Amino acid sequence: MDSPLVFRGTVIHSLHLTQLEILEDATLIINADGRIAAFQKSSARGTPELRIPAGAKVHQLPPGDFLIPGFVDTHNHAPQWPMRGLGQGLHILDWLDQVTFPVEARFSDASYARTTYGQCVGDFLRHGITTASYYGSRHAEATRILADVCHEKGQRAFVGKCNMDRNAPEYIREESAAASLRETDECVRYIRGLSGRGGGETRGGEQRQEALVQPILTPRFAISCTPELLKGLGEMMERDDTLAMQTHFNEAEQEIRATRELFPGYESEADLYEAFGLLGRRSVLAHCTIMTDYDKARLAALRCGVAHCPVANMTVGGGFMVAPVRDFLRRGIKVGLGTDSGGGWASQMLAVMRQAMIASNARAVMGGAGDDDDDNEAPLSLEEVFYLATLGGAGVLCLEDQIGNFEVGKQFDAVWVTTSNTSLRPVMTPREEGDSLKTTFEKFVMTGDDRNMAHVYVRGRRVAGAGE
């Protein structure tokens, strides 16, 4: 950013799980380093006026437009972006063999990887996803290209080389655990070199910024990793407690049975991953649909995060799989949302939010959907799914002190939503005279799309958007 930014108008963000703050007449001041310097929630008479920095660019949001925090996608397969929607209804291991592995194998071609990843990252930014946790393919060069693309386009991202040294076709399987670990270490070093480990100091040396793109260890799942590989990845985490880890966890019956056959000494996937040193506060566990009380207790005790992927869980994998999100939240387990592109057919976090509400309604009717607890859990509200898509997702990625809402000191990752610009021809339910701000917001969440996202910002820099 060349100069500070000022935004005046409606601001909507989460304070916590059930508290959505809607401010009609707020002012946000963003420093040139992309951090929120001041947040005035009202300009009513008697409120001290904020001092506008010299040279600041001032934006007045028209009626019907509002700012929201950028969406956080906690589970995403970048090389599966071109196969979204394929193989719906297949069981998970059949889907991998028949659809996924042939597509991911194409990323051995660096030119194909750069073209496809450019389209993928651009697509997610256009939909307001300012932070994404990406699985790459097993190819080190393609993984470095994915990190480059995120860095160039300005998306906040975690990028991991997928580890898989067994139970995959020879054309995509890694040659050995040693080779996988070596290439993983090289990718970690490369990604940290993009902007320096931990980023640079802000002006005046007051605060350090997290690197925009960070590495994340990515064992695909235990089925595809030898014990030697899992052990080596756990040792990497033990040596460096700033490293994050992501994997698939209790996703489907077929996957759970196969895991127990390969690791007969472990009744629980929680015990398995914990034994290899892979579970902790920086662990992102995707799906978690079939969970015992023991599983849930271990995730809570180890402070792991859950990436809830309702679109994929109700279309790929075999069966109707709905994670017990209400019980996770009740137990204090961190939960965010994931598109799971391409097991999930959507690039849009809005679609995931809607499906999360549908899935929770179904789960409430089914009374626990097969878990240990038959608790007739309450469905998720609109306020709660918005939290999961923003501040909740930030917590899963251990970024809650950096992004997720508009607290002073956080970085300005945001979406300027328009419902007033008729030239964008938004598809959402029309905003009518007399609509409250809450009604307009609800119409956007339930019926809007990327055409309503006029401007997308990361660290205060515009990186995408449908508006001029």
Q: What are phi and psi of 142, to 5 degrees?
A: -65, -35
Rounded to an integer, the average pLDDT of 184-205 is: 69
Does residue 450 have a pLDDT over 90?
yes
Tell me, what's the pLDDT at 198?
37
Tell me, what's the pLDDT at 209?
62
Structure tokens at 452: 């309503």
Tell me, what's the pLDDT at 368?
56
The conformation of residue 201, written as its DSSP 8-state character, comes to: B
Rounded to whole angstroms, how far apart are CA atoms 142 and 213? Answer: 15
> Which residue has 């015992």 as its token pair?
292
Whether 127 and 270 share a structural domain: yes
Whether 336 and 432 share a structural domain: no
Chain segment 150-161, per-residue pLDDT in tens: 999 999 999 999
In a domain, 333, yes or no: yes
Whether 260 and 354 share a structural domain: yes
The conformation of residue 69, written as its DSSP 8-state character, comes to: E
pTM as predicted: 0.95
Per-residue pLDDT band for 202 (boundaries 50, 70, 90) equals very low
Rounded to an integer, the average pLDDT of 125-146 is: 98
In a domain, 424, yes or no: yes
Whether 319 and 338 share a structural domain: yes
Does residue 200 have a pLDDT over 50?
no
Structure tokens at 411: 């970085």
Rounded to whole angstroms, how far apart are CA atoms 148 and 222? Answer: 28
Whether 388 and 426 share a structural domain: no
Whether 26 and 87 share a structural domain: no
Whether 349 and 390 share a structural domain: yes
CATH number for the domain including 26? 2.30.40.10
Neighbours of 25 (CB within 10 A): 14
Tell me, what's the pLDDT at 370?
47
Chain segment 249-291, per-residue pLDDT in tens: 999 888 999 999 999 999 999 999 999 999 999 999 999 999 9
CATH number for the domain including 342? 3.20.20.140
Domain count within the chain: 2
Q: Which of 209, 290, 280, 199 is nearest to 245 (CA)?
A: 280
Chain segment 172-189, per-residue pLDDT in tens: 999 999 999 999 999 999
Domain boundary among 372, 396, 420: 396
Whether 325 and 450 share a structural domain: no
In a domain, 258, yes or no: yes
Whether 413 and 389 share a structural domain: no
In a domain, 86, yes or no: yes
HEC assignment per residue over 207-225: CECCCCEEEEEEECCHHHC
Rounded to whole angstroms, how far apart are CA atoms 122 and 371? Answer: 38
Does residue 143 have a pLDDT over 50?
yes
Residue 409, C-beta contacts closer than 8 angstroms, at least 6 positions apart: 35, 36, 207
In a domain, 384, yes or no: yes
Instruction: Give the 3-state secondary structure of residue 68.
Output: strand
Neighbours of 329 (CB within 10 A): 20
Domain boundary among 371, 396, 421: 396
Whether 280 and 384 share a structural domain: yes
Task: Find how far residue 121's CA is from the centre of its chain.
Answer: 13
In a domain, 263, yes or no: yes
Whether 99 and 172 share a structural domain: yes
> Which residue has 């991911």 as its token pair?
104
Name the pairing type of β-strands 57-60 and 244-249: unpaired
Rounded to whole angstroms, how far apart are CA atoms 76 and 246? Answer: 10
Q: Give whole-number Cα distances, 251 to 156, 254, 318, 328, 445, in Å.
A: 26, 9, 10, 15, 27
Q: Which of 393, 375, 39, 410 is nearest to 209 (CA)?
A: 410
In a domain, 401, yes or no: no
Instruction: Give the 3-state secondary structure of residue 60.
Output: strand
Chain segment 300-332, per-residue pLDDT in tens: 999 999 999 999 998 886 666 789 999 999 999
Does residue 445 have a pLDDT over 60?
yes
Most distant CA pair in the chain, distance: 71
Tell me, what's the pLDDT at 315?
85
Whether 202 and 242 share a structural domain: yes
Rounded to an integer, the average pLDDT of 403-409 is: 98
Domain boundary among 345, 369, 396: 396
Among 68-72, 202-206, 330-334, the range scoring the smallest mean pLDDT is: 202-206
In a domain, 95, yes or no: yes
What is the domain range of residue 447?
Answer: 5-69+406-464
Chain segment 19-44, per-residue pLDDT in tens: 999 999 999 999 999 999 999 998 76
